[in-house]
């Protein structure tokens, strides 16, 4: 099965490989055995590339052979090029020849096997291969009289180190985050899952950018059909550029018209590893620390990695806090509008009296207040995010003062509305993964509440709910395990069961091999007889 | 295949519960049916065997033609005449949808929105239901799967909160009028369970058709359980004399909830849950109408006719009755029981008998 | 109101029909047209304020007469 | 795509058509807190007095300081042929629509109640805004006076009335009947309803003179300040007011119904007949047991009461077995007397079954009840009612001998 998949994959990769769609003959042609021809070709292809370095040298003493080394400055590790390629080529080869003498024909094999002290050396036979290698930071050695060039892996460029991701900071748990470098990211994953079943298949997407995209999955746990489906969808992307994982997300998601995300993302390798171990697929993209995870279910937004690192009781409470916050953030303006303008009879008397007192003399209807305040809040938020931190704080202070204090004292809006919007805002930060979703839902609900009150809210809920249950992420129902209900899976949704009780993977995803660990792993304290009696 | 969705037996059960139960949360015509006194809840309990009895023909018919709905199997059994029976069923589902919509709008315009014209609610609800119907039976069932537990939970909460106002003495004396009116009441309650027909329409989409019998029985059981506690709570809080006078008995009960000054006026929550539950009921009947019509005309897809059918449903719903008195009259046990019984039991029985006589079975497939 | 009704029905027709013609689903097209016509004929009198007898009255009549006959 | 189009269409239609059907902003409502119903001077008309909330006054309590506490409510009076009519007529005086859902108190005047309350109460049960949880009170005198009366502690007098009713459990000398319970009793074939009785007592002149800081404006304008007080219960025959129960009689009613929650029973000290002993009621329950023997109906009312010695004014130590027994007996006698008083009034004077005796017979003897039902009105006055009081004293507080007693 997997073998077959591999075949399909390689066929697919061949299909995408950028030389196929491009008919330009000169790039596909094999290298010439004349070094001059090769040199001309390469330098003409890279015309005007000021970062290109072509180092011409003569190697050997007795029979001097023309050769050149080509690489892109900045993409290579200079010390490797100098110490492990240029120095051996110029010095050690001379010694080798001095000792025995090497024929011109064997010089290539000699260099590859004896001279180059670089980890990974490949051979390239076409001009295009040479160009691709150079572009991805490798060093190419072309020798006169040989139609085969040597490609040494010397990749090494300025990268950001592994840091704590700002979007998903934790109190307990690993603090490392993905970086912009694909290789680092795969290494981070490998370090979490030291298993040959962790497959990392790389493909290049983007006609111009040729971005490396890596599909990671755990063979044996993942549903193979899902992997094929992901590959098929990735294969269909035929675009100029992939600069961020968001590009890919929008090309492969199931419901492009929906405001709900069907592809998840994370910046933390431990989360990615956990998703892999649940049978999900992680898509790493070069150039961004954000990894995509599919299939993505709605309930994942309420799970945080820290839930699993801390003990289950508080995690369960926190999970319910998140649900509550989500509902507050989605419903509170709508309910406020509905209650004050349509159903005052449903407010408890004491509350109604104080609400009526607060609403006294405010000029706008509640729905206008709610929508207006919502917009102002979004403006403030946006202003705060993009600005440098100190200014951002100033903006939020001014905003809070203007809205919270002045507007109420001036009698422009009622104080309860400010409270409602503040609750909404704060609550939407509790579930950051879907804060955009809550904003959209909130808008829909508030508008409907303004038109129809409670009935409008309920109709909007019905619409949103039917929409949500109709969605699928890679064939997995979006709202599972709630609908269709899968009671064993609720152990990680409604509660967070202790680890020893989570013996099965989420069945909708990891049905292939559902058992994660032995049952009956509950720790038993030693019985009295073993206890140290003092 | 018109519909490629698959539903589980749990979804099927919950669908029956919510669809049958949800209108009992407002209208509860059982209180005005015989025995018309405090024995209504006994009638509810006794209706369980009656339910099962009434469901037998429909169930056997569905089992006999596992891959066909009643509309298709009627055609198979009776040929051209079967088309007429199929059309009758499409009409019945259409009528159910229109009637339910009308009942929704009637409640909404009676209590929370007296000044809003009723057609507004009918149109808006029908539009949203059309959205759900377009998504297919899977979506409706899944929505039901989420909402039904909420409905059931809310009933429990209401019962717990109203418990201090309940006076169980109101249930005495039991069987005041003897057993006969109670049995009549059981029949009227069972005859309102049009949801029995779900098995004839949705059995082909159950992922385990064998469990349909169990799911249906459990669904009816749960319905009766909740029906009983609802009627008991109404009768014990209002006494019989007041209870049978209520237009919306259970809502009146919910409005009485008042615990320590702060936990009161929770009818908004209840109203919301009721609207959602009713939305599911409307969606499923709307869906059955569209599906049935598509099967009747041998269409390949039911989705194009959803909105055109919606126009019929909406206008039928508006002209359903001149006023609420007429609506109440029509849905009372005197009329509705026999009308529903005709479709639930009588027609399936005829079809079944003919099918047995003519030995039509699944062989045609 | 009549204009709104007509606009709604035209809109529905525009939404449904071209796709069906494109896919050559003639059966569906016929059904859509039939249902739209029924819907229009039912809703037009409602909008115009003409009373349409409810089908419920007929059902009620049939059932009560049968019940009376059986009761006798 | 089609769906999106439809959704956009729906929303735009909704926007276009959503007039302000049921829109009512909070600041366009006149929130009614209490309603008083009187007979209007015009023939057959009803005078409605409503207490409407003034949110502005509630909002800023300290802002208007110095001029005494501003009134939190506004009292509106209107007339109409029916209650609903009177409501709508009130809207002509108020700039806002009268809004009924928060009404806490419904006060009906004595005159109105004597004429029958069923026609009045229809509106309150039919209207969707009002809940059946409003308290129903019968005013001795005009209901308007009650609604207009102010309260020192509460800005909203309706809240004060509500608190009076809900706090009446401390004495159990008033009944707490809301619309729901009243209508339940009214609808019951056997039972006759009762309701709280409220009246105005003018503050005595002497008391006012004694006050050191008379508030000039108020006292001059309003004359003697009015206070409201719960004074027992109003008893109905069917829907017509039959008469009043005073406070001990009301507690008698509560004993029979098992609704006594707390209260003080005053007995004479067994040692010194001039001094009083206060016994606190801790809990009480009752049973109504109907019996039919040879067509003869007997009702047994079993009251169980448990009390504490709460206070005594004599100077002997009453915490001895003998005294305690005697106190228990005296306690039982007081309870019996209270019950007997109310029974006499209800049975002999008015013939109203406010105790639910008929209902109890109905539940226990449904067959016999069928015969009894028609003549229950006359039968009720004839039936024998046995009262059994089991009354106990349990505790005596933190000291035994009276406070400050010297040991001999």
Q: Are strands D194-202 and D135-139 parallel, antiparallel or unpaired?
A: parallel
Q: Summarize pLDDT for A159-205 with one digit per residue, the tens.
A: 888 888 887 888 888 989 999 989 889 999 999 999 899 999 999 89
Q: What is the pLDDT of residue D395?
A: 87
Q: Is the pLDDT reported for residue D5 higher than 70? A: no
Classify D66 in phi/psi space as left (phi over 0), alpha (psi -120 to 50) or beta.
Answer: left
> Which residues of chain B lie closer than 8 angstroms to D180, CB-CB?
256
Expressed as residue numbers, the domain containing C15 is 2-71
Please provide residue A135's backbone torsions phi and psi, each rounded to the nearest 5 degrees.
Answer: -65, -30
Interface-testing mutation among B292, B304, B305, with chain C (most C C-beta atoms within 10 A): B304
Tell me if chain D has a CB within 8 Å of the CB of A353.
Answer: yes
Query: Which regions in chain C score pLDDT beneath 50?
Result: none
Q: pLDDT (tens digit, 0 to 9) for every residue of chain B, 365 residues total?
A: 578 888 999 999 999 999 999 999 988 888 888 888 889 999 999 999 999 999 999 999 998 888 889 999 898 888 888 899 999 999 999 999 999 999 999 999 988 888 888 888 998 899 899 989 999 999 999 999 999 999 999 999 999 999 988 988 888 888 888 899 999 999 999 999 999 999 999 999 998 888 889 999 999 999 999 999 999 999 999 988 888 888 999 999 998 988 877 788 888 889 999 999 999 999 999 999 999 999 999 998 898 899 899 999 999 999 888 888 888 889 888 889 899 999 999 999 999 999 888 876 555 44
Q: Which domains does chain B have, with CATH numbers?
A: 9-240+266-364 (1.20.1740.10)
Q: Is the pLDDT reported for residue A452 higher than 80? A: yes
Q: What is the pLDDT of residue A1?
A: 44
Q: What is the pLDDT of residue A347?
A: 83
Please provide residue A193's backbone torsions phi and psi, each rounded to the nearest 5 degrees.
Answer: -120, 100
Q: Are strands D296-312 and D384-395 parallel, antiparallel or unpaired?
A: parallel
H or E segment and range at residue A191: helix A182-192
Instruction: Enter the tokens of residue A292.
Output: 């995509």
A359, D55: Cβ pair inside 8 Å? Answer: yes
Instruction: Enter the tokens of residue B40.
Output: 């209504």
> Which residues of chain B lie closer than 8 angstroms to C31, CB-CB?
293-294, 297, 299, 304-305, 308
CA A430 to each of CA A370, A464, B34: distance values in angstroms, whole numbers, following the listed order: 21, 21, 54
Q: Are strands A281-285 and D46-53 parallel, antiparallel or unpaired?
A: unpaired
Taking CA–CA distances from C19, the nearest residue in chain B reads B304
Q: How many CB atoms lie within 10 A of CB D201?
A: 12
> Which residues of chain B lie closer than 8 angstroms to D366, CB-CB?
173, 176
D22, B245: Cβ pair inside 8 Å? Answer: no
User: What CATH superfamily classification does D247-408 receive?
Assistant: Nutrient germinant receptor protein C, domain 3 (3.30.300.210)
Q: Which residue has the tokens 């979004």?
A: A378
CA–CA gap between residue A259 and residue A238 (Å, rounded): 24
Query: CA nearest A152: which of A61, A243, A67?
Result: A67
Q: Which residues 127-166 in chain B show a CB within 8 A of chain A?
A: 128, 131-132, 135-136, 138-140, 142-143, 145-147
CA–CA gap between residue D175 and residue D252 (Å, rounded): 11
- Four-CA torsion A396, A398, A401, A406, nearest 10 degrees: -140
A343, B268: Cβ pair inside 8 Å? Answer: yes
Interface-testing mutation among A337, A338, A349, with chain D (most D C-beta atoms within 10 A): A349
Q: Is the pLDDT reported for residue A114 higher than 80? A: no
CA–CA gap between residue B220 and residue B14 (Å, rounded): 10
**How far does C43 lie from chain B, in Å, by closest CA?**
5
CB-based burial label for D280 (10 Å; 0-12, 13-18, 19+): middle
Q: What is the pLDDT of residue A6?
A: 52
Q: Summarize pLDDT for D18-40 with one digit per residue, the tens.
A: 555 667 788 888 889 999 999 98
Instruction: Enter the tokens of residue A113.
Output: 């096997």
Note whether A395 and A387 are within 8 A (CB). yes
**How far does B237 lie from chain C, in Å, by closest CA?**
34
Q: What is the pLDDT of residue D127?
A: 87
CA–CA gap between residue B89 and residue A430 (Å, rounded): 50
Q: What is the pLDDT of residue A531?
A: 60
Q: Summarize pLDDT for D327-346 with one digit per residue, the tens.
A: 999 999 999 999 999 999 99
Note whether D36 and D78 are within 8 A (CB). no
Note whether B186 and B51 are within 8 A (CB). no
Chains B and A are touching, with contact defined as 3 or more CB–CB pairs separated by less than 8 Å: yes
Query: ipTM, 2 decimals?
Result: 0.89
Q: Are strands B263-264 and B258-259 parallel, antiparallel or unpaired?
A: antiparallel
Q: Which chains touch D (3 or more CB pairs under 8 A)?
A: A, B, C
Question: Is the preceding peptide bond at B173 cis, omega within 30 degrees of 0?
Answer: yes
Note whether B85 and B363 are within 8 A (CB). no
Note whether A68 and A56 are within 8 A (CB). yes
The residue ranges of DSSP E strands in A144-285, in sequence order, are 149-152, 198-205, 211-218, 264-266, 281-285
H or E segment and range at residue D325: helix D321-343
Q: What is the pLDDT of residue A501?
A: 86
Classify D335 in phi/psi space as left (phi over 0), alpha (psi -120 to 50) or beta.
Answer: alpha
Q: What is the pLDDT of residue D95?
A: 81
Chains B and C are touching, with contact defined as 3 or more CB–CB pairs separated by less than 8 Å: yes
CA–CA gap between residue B257 and residue B275 (Å, rounded): 20
**How far does D18 lie from chain C, in Å, by closest CA?**
15
Q: Is the pLDDT reported for residue A7 higher than 70? A: no
Tell me if chain B has a CB within 8 Å of the CB of D167.
Answer: no
Q: How many CB atoms lie within 10 A of CB D293?
A: 7
A341, D29: Cβ pair inside 8 Å? Answer: no
CA–CA gap between residue D136 and residue D139 (Å, rounded): 10
Query: CA nearest B289: which of B102, B132, B60?
Result: B132
Domain boundaries along the sequence of chain D: 24-245, 247-408
**How far does C18 lie from chain D, in Å, by closest CA?**
12
- Residue A534's pLDDT band (cuts 50, 70, 90): low
Please provide residue A22's backbone torsions phi and psi, each rounded to the nearest 5 degrees.
Answer: -95, 115
Alpha helices in chain C (DSSP H): 2-23, 26-48, 55-71
Note whether B106 and B247 are within 8 A (CB). no
Number of domains within chain C: 1
The three-state secondary structure class of D402 is coil
Among the ranges given (A28-32, B298-302, D79-83, D370-374), the one the predictor scored with the smallest mean pLDDT: A28-32
Query: CA nearest A484: which of B143, B276, B195, B279?
Result: B143
CA–CA gap between residue D147 and residue D136 (Å, rounded): 13
Residues of chain D in Cβ contact (below 8 Å) with chain A: 1, 4, 11, 14-15, 18, 22-27, 29, 31, 53, 55-56, 58-59, 99, 101-102, 104, 129, 131, 156
Instruction: Enter the tokens of residue B300.
Output: 């390949």
**How far does B55 lie from chain A, in Å, by closest CA?**
26
The mean pLDDT of D193-219, rounded to a whole number, is 63
Q: Between A492 and B362, where is the model more confident?
A: A492
Q: Are strands A291-294 and D296-312 parallel, antiparallel or unpaired?
A: unpaired
Taking CA–CA distances from D361, the nearest residue in chain B reads B173
**How far does D62 lie from chain B, in Å, by closest CA?**
26
Q: Is the pLDDT reported for residue A420 higher than 50? A: yes
Give the torsion sign (CA, A325, A326, A330, A334).
negative
Q: What is the pLDDT of residue A145?
A: 79
Longest dimension (CA), chain C: 60
Q: Summarize pLDDT for A367-399 with one digit per residue, the tens.
A: 888 888 888 888 888 887 778 877 877 777 777
**If you average pLDDT over every residue of chain A, what do you get?**
84
CA–CA gap between residue C3 and residue A166 (Å, rounded): 57
Tell me if chain D has a CB within 8 Å of the CB of A340.
Answer: yes
**If you average pLDDT over every residue of chain D, what do you get?**
83
Question: B80-110 and B324-331 are packed helices; what angle lies between their axes, rounded to 10 degrees?
Answer: 130
CA–CA gap between residue A34 and residue B300 (Å, rounded): 67
CA–CA gap between residue B210 and residue B215 (Å, rounded): 10
Q: What is the pLDDT of residue A55?
A: 86
Interface-testing mutation among C56, C63, C67, with chain B (most B C-beta atoms within 10 A): C56
Chain centroid offset of residue A467 CA:
25
Tell me if chain A has a CB within 8 Å of the CB of B272.
Answer: yes
Instruction: Enter the tokens of residue A334.
Output: 């709508």
């Amino acid at each position: 099965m997997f073998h077959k998949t591999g075949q399909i994959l390689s066929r697919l990769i061949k299909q995408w490989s950028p030389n196929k769609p491009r008919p330009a003959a000169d790039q596909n042609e094999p290298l010439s055995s004349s070094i001059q021809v090769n040199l001309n070709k390469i330098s003409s292809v890279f015309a005007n590339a000021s970062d290109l370095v072509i180092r011409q040298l003569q190697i050997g003493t007795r029979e001097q052979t023309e050769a050149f080394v080509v690489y892109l400055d900045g993409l290579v590790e200079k010390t490797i090029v100098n110490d492990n390629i240029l120095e051996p080529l110029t010095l050690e080869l001379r010694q080798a020849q001095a000792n025995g003498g090497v024929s011109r024909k064997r010089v290539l094999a000699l260099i590859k096997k004896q001279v180059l002290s670089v980890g990974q050396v490949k051979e390239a036979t076409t001009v295009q291969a040479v160009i691709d290698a150079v572009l991805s930071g490798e060093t190419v050695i072309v020798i006169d009289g040989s139609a085969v060039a040597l490609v040494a892996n010397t990749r090494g460029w300025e990268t950001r180190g592994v840091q704590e991701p700002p979007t998903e900071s934790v109190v307990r748990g690993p603090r490392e985050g993905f970086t912009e470098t694909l290789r680092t990211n795969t290494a981070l994953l490998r370090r979490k899952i030291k298993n040959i079943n962790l497959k990392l298949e790389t493909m290049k997407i983007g006609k111009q950018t040729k971005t490396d995209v890596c599909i990671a999955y755990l063979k044996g746990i993942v549903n193979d059909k899902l992997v094929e489906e992901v590959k098929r969808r990735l294969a269909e992307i035929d675009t100029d550029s992939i600069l961020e994982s968001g590009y890919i997300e929008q090309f492969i998601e199931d419901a492009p018209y929906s405001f709900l995300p069907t592809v998840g993302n994370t910046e933390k390798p431990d989360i990615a590893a956990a998703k892999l171990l649940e049978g999900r697929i992680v898509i790493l993209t070069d150039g961004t620390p954000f990894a995509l995870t599919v299939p993505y279910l709605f309930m994942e937004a309420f799970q945080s990695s820290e839930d699993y690192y801390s003990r289950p009781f508080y995690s369960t409470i926190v999970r319910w806090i998140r649900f509550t916050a989500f509902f507050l953030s989605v419903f509170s303006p709508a309910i406020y509008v509905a209650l004050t303008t349509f159903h005052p009879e449903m407010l408890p008397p004491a509350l109604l009296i104080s609400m009526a007192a607060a609403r006294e003399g405010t000029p706008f209807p509640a729905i206008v207040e709610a929508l207006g305040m919502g917009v102002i809040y979004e403006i403030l938020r946006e202003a705060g995010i993009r600005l440098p931190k100190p200014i951002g704080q100033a903006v939020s202070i001014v905003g809070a003062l203007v809205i919270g204090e002045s507007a109420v004292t001036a009698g422009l809006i009622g104080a309860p509305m400010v409270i409602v919007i503040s609750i909404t805002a704060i609550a939407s930060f509790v579930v950051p993964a879907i804060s955009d979703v809550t904003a959209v839902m909130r808008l829909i609900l508030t508008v409907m509440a303004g038109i129809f009150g409670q009935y409008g809210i309920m109709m909007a809920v019905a619409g949103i709910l039917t929409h949500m249950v109709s969605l699928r992420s890679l064939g997995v129902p979006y709202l599972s395990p709630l609908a269709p209900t899968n009671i064993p899976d609720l152990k990680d949704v409604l509660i967070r069961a202790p680890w020893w009780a989570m013996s099965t993977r989420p069945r909708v995803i990891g049905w292939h091999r559902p058992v994660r660990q032995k049952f009956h792993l509950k720790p038993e304290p030693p019985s009295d007889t073993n206890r140290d009696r003092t | 295949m018109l519909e490629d969705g698959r539903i589980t037996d749990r979804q099927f059960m919950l669908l029956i519960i919510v669809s049958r139960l949800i209108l009992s949360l407002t209208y509860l015509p059982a209180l005005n049916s015989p025995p018309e006194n405090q024995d209504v809840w006994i009638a509810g309990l006794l209706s369980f065997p009656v339910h099962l009895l009434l469901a037998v023909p429909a169930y056997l018919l569905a089992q006999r033609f596992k891959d066909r709905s009643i509309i298709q199997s009627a055609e198979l059994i009776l040929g051209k005449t079967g088309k007429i029976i199929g059309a009758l069923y499409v009409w019945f589902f259409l009528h159910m949808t229109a009637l339910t919509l009308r009942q929704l709008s009637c409640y909404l315009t009676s209590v929370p929105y007296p000044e809003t014209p009723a057609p507004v609610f009918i149109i808006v609800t029908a539009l949203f239901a059309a959205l759900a119907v377009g998504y297919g039976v899977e979506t409706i069932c899944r929505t039901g799967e989420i909402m039904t537990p909420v409905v059931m939970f809310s009933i429990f909460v209401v019962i717990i909160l109203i418990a201090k106002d309940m006076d169980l003495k109101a249930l005495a004396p039991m069987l005041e009028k003897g057993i006969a009116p109670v049995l009549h009441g059981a029949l009227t309650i069972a005859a309102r369970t049009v949801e029995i027909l779900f098995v004839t329409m949705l059995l082909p989409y159950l992922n385990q058709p064998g469990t349909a019998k169990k799911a249906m029985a459990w669904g009816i059981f749960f319905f009766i359980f909740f029906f009983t506690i609802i009627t008991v709570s109404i009768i014990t809080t209002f006494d019989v004399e007041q209870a049978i006078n209520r237009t919306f008995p259970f809502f009146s009960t919910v409005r009485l909830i008042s615990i320590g000054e702060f936990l009161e006026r929770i009818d908004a929550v209840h109203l919301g849950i009721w609207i959602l539950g009713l939305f599911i009921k409307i969606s499923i009947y709307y869906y059955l109408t569209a599906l049935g019509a598509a099967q009747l005309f041998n269409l390949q897809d039911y989705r194009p006719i959803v909105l055109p059918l919606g126009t019929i449903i909406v206008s039928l719903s508006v002209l359903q009755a001149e006023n609420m008195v007429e609506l109440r009259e029509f849905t009372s046990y005197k009329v509705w029981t026999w009308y529903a019984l005709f479709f639930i039991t009588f027609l399936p029985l005829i079809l079944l008998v003919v099918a047995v006589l003519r030995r039509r079975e699944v062989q045609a497939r | 109101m009549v204009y709104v009704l007509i606009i709604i029905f035209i809109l529905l027709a525009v939404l449904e029909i071209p796709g069906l013609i494109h896919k050559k689903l003639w059966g569906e097209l016929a059904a859509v047209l039939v249902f739209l016509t029924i819907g229009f004929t039912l809703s037009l009198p409602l909008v115009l304020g003409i009373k349409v007898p409810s089908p419920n009255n007929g059902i009620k009549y049939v059932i009560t007469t049968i019940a009376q006959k059986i009761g006798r | 795509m089609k769906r999106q189009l439809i959704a956009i269409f729906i929303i735009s239609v909704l926007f276009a058509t959503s007039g302000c059907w049921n829109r009512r902003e909070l600041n366009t409502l006149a929130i009614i807190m209490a309603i008083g119903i009187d007979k209007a001077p015009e023939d057959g008309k009803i005078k409605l007095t409503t207490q409407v909330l003034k949110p502005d006054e509630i909002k800023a309590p300290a802002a208007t300081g110095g001029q005494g506490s501003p009134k939190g409510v506004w009292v509106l009076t209107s007339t109409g042929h029916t209650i609903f009519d009177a409501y709508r007529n009130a809207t002509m005086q108020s700039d806002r629509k009268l809004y009924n859902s928060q009404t806490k108190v419904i006060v009906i005047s004595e005159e109105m109640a004597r004429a029958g309350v069923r026609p009045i109460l229809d509106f309150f049960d039919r209207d969707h805004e009002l809940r059946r949880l409003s308290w129903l009170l019968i005013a001795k005198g005009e209901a308007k006076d009650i609604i207009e009366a102010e309260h020192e502690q509460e800005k909203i007098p309706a809240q004060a009335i509500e608190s009076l009713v809900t706090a009446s459990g401390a004495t159990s000398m008033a009944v707490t009947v809301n619309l729901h319970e009243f209508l339940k009793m009214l609808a019951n074939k056997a039972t006759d309803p009762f309701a709280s009785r409220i009246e105005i007592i003018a503050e005595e002149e002497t008391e006012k003179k004694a006050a050191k800081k008379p508030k000039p404006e108020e006292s001059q304008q309003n004359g003697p300040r009015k206070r409201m007080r719960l004074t027992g219960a109003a008893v109905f025959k069917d829907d017509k007011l039959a008469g009043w129960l005073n406070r001990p009689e009301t507690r008698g009613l509560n004993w029979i119904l098992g609704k006594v929650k707390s209260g003080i029973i005053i007995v004479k000290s067994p040692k010194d007949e001039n001094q009083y002993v206060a016994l606190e009621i801790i809990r009480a329950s009752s049973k109504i047991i109907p019996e039919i023997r040879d067509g003869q109906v007997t009702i047994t009312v079993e009251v169980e009461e448990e009390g504490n010695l709460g206070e005594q004014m004599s100077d002997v130590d009453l915490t001895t077995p003998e005294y305690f027994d005697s106190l228990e007996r005296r306690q039982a006698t007081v309870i019996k007397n209270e019950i007997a008083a109310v029974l006499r009034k209800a049975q002999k004077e008015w013939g109203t079954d406010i105790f639910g005796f008929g209902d109890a017979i109905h539940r226990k003897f449904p067959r016999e009840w069928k015969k009894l039902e028609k003549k229950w009105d006359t039968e009720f006055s004839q039936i024998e009612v046995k009262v059994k009081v089991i009354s106990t004293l349990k505790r005596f507080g933190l000291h035994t001998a009276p406070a400050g007693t010297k040991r001999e």
